[in-house]
Structure formats: C-alpha cells, structure tokens
Homo-oligomer: A and B are copies of this chain.
Amino acid sequence: MGEFDLIARYFTRPVRRAALGVGDDCALLAPAPGMQLAVSSDMLVQGRHFFADVDPERLGHKALAVNLSDLAACGARPLAFTLALALPRVDAPWLEAFSRGLLALADGHGCELVGGDTTQGPLNICITVFGEVPAGQALLRSGARPGDDIYVSGTLGDARLALEALQGHITLPADVLAAARLRLEQPTPRVALGQALRGVASSALDVSDGLLGDLGHILRASGTGACIDTSITTYLIAISALPISARGKFDPELLHQCTLAGGDDYELAFTAPVARRAAVAAASLASSTPVTRIGRIEAEPGLRLVDAQGQPVVQRYASFDHFAAG
C-alpha cells in the first residue's frame, strides 16, 4: 500500500469545520472572530511513551488525548489536528485499530483531522492540535496569586502504578492492574472542565510529568510558592477506592511517589481565589469532573509538603524529565 492509499483508507474523513482538509499542501482553518487559536504539539515514541505491544486502539486514543489535555489546560475548545506518523511498515490491522481509537476520541470532541504526514521509520506519532479560545480568556500558568486554592481534577498516580507493575517492579491484583492500566493507556483529557474554568481559575496546566514538577511551572510562572497537603493527595490514587485491607498492601512511599511525581496523569492542576470556591464546584459539576482541593498558593517561593497535622513532609520526589536519569 502506498502513502496516499494509506492516508485515504485510514485517515480521511469528510471535511467539516476546516475550510480545506486532508489532501492539499496545507489545511485551511479560520477561527471565529474574536477567538484565538490555541496550538500544541506532542510526540509519542515507542519505548519511551508506550510499549511496543500496546493495544493500537488505546495508543490512537492516547496520542490525541495528551494533546487535547494541553487544550483543556488552556480552556480551549478543540477544533482540529494534524497527524505525522512514522511507521516501520504498513500493518493494516494495526492501522485500522490505531485510527479507530484516534478518530473515536476526535469525534467525541468534534476535533477534525485536517492533515499531516506519513513516512517510514521507527514508530513515532506526532500530533499538533488546534483549539479556539475567546481572546484574553485562555488559562495560563502565570496567574496564581498568594492565598489561591490549588486543585487537581480526577485521580493521580494510577498511570505510574500501572507502569511500575508492567515493568515488573511491583505486583498488582489483576483487576487493580487492569483499572490502572486503562488510566495509563487511555487517559481522559479534561476538555469540558478546562472550558468551564475560564474566568474561574487563576492558572492551570495539565499534569503530564508529575504533580509536583508540573505545579513548579505554575509557581515559577506566577512568582509564588505553594503548600500541598499530602494526606489528601495520597488518596487521589484510584486504588484508594479499594477496601482499606487491600490498600494496606501497598507501600505508602509508593503511593506518595505515584500521586506526587508519577506522571502521565493528564489531569488538570489549577488555582482559583478562595472567593471562587462555589464557581469551581459549579465548573466541576457542569463538566461531570471531580476536583479536589489539595493546597494553597503562598507568597514564599518553593513547594512545601505537609501531612494532615500540617507538619512538613520531606520531599524526595523528582518529577519525570525526558532527558534526566530514570
């Protein structure tokens, strides 16, 4: 199968929102008047971001999900995306499953595939996504102010827990592994929550490299510090829904590491003034997305961890860095 057949068979849909879609030199997009275009690009590499034997349907989902998560973090509405794909060879069943997972998520968010590139090479998926946000209303990292509450959506740490199990570092009961693995391989971008937080959150980002490391971006961009209650964050791992007896089997240090520095969560971490607590609750409700208040922005620089009694917890958790050791 040639490159053009491949594109036609797996990745061409009728053009909807774009003025011109797949098949010319460029796609043509026109944001509505008064709107800004939010643009983000993420690359997924085999062995680094996913295992060679990952279910291709889940991989198609995840490749777009991590990009939609960036739009969510800006409060943008998804519009369209481009897909550049390097494949070792043309593998029809793989492509069929990959495109099914990819386009199902795209359709769910009204996000149109408008172009891209396919080539032969080590498996590599590069998606660039476009969203629309009213001019001046994008959620940025730089807006956190001392006194603001800090929130995180959904659950944290399950993806890392699955990764540790898949790498053979720990053993998980089959049902726990299956649930955690779903969070690793098929994360849910918090697109509706991001839009609901426009005008409510003072800053936001998505948690991709680990909560503490990512929060650090907000603190640096905002020129603030923060205090996080780890007695709350440790319960944000989905396995906290297990009976205490089952939960007790996990090393508490492992749970801390997974929730605070696990990575691959694709939840939103955001801040909002104390006066907007009701508005945050309304945004959570409107988007059917749970949010948990985990700490507070402080004037003093640095990130402080405390336990339920407010006592300092020593921080040992470096966030995932793509070029750092580990």
User: Are the C-beta atoms of B24 and A36 separated by less than 8 Å?
Assistant: no
User: Are the C-beta atoms of B36 and A30 separated by less than 8 Å?
Assistant: yes
Residues 125-169 of A at the B interface (beta carbon under 8 Å): 126, 128, 130-131, 133, 135, 138, 140-142
User: Are the C-beta atoms of B122 and A322 separated by less than 8 Å?
Assistant: no
User: Are the C-beta atoms of B26 and A76 separated by less than 8 Å?
Assistant: yes
Residues 1-57 of A at the B interface (beta carbon under 8 Å): 1-4, 6, 19-20, 23-31, 33, 35-43, 45-49
- Interface segment among A109-117, A179-187, A231-239: the answer is A109-117
A118 at the interface (CB under 8 A from B): yes
What number of copies of this chain does the assembly contain?
A: 2
A279 at the interface (CB under 8 A from B): no
User: Are the C-beta atoms of B28 and A138 separated by less than 8 Å?
Assistant: yes
**CB contact between A39 and one of B45, B76, B115 (< 8 Å): that residue:** B115
* Cα-based distance from A141 to B237 in the complex (angstroms): 52
Could you list 26 A-B pairs, sorted by A, with CB under 8 Å? A2-B323, A24-B140, A25-B74, A25-B204, A26-B131, A27-B39, A28-B37, A28-B38, A28-B74, A29-B39, A30-B35, A30-B36, A33-B33, A39-B82, A39-B114, A41-B84, A41-B126, A42-B117, A43-B124, A45-B120, A49-B119, A84-B126, A118-B323, A121-B124, A122-B124, A128-B128
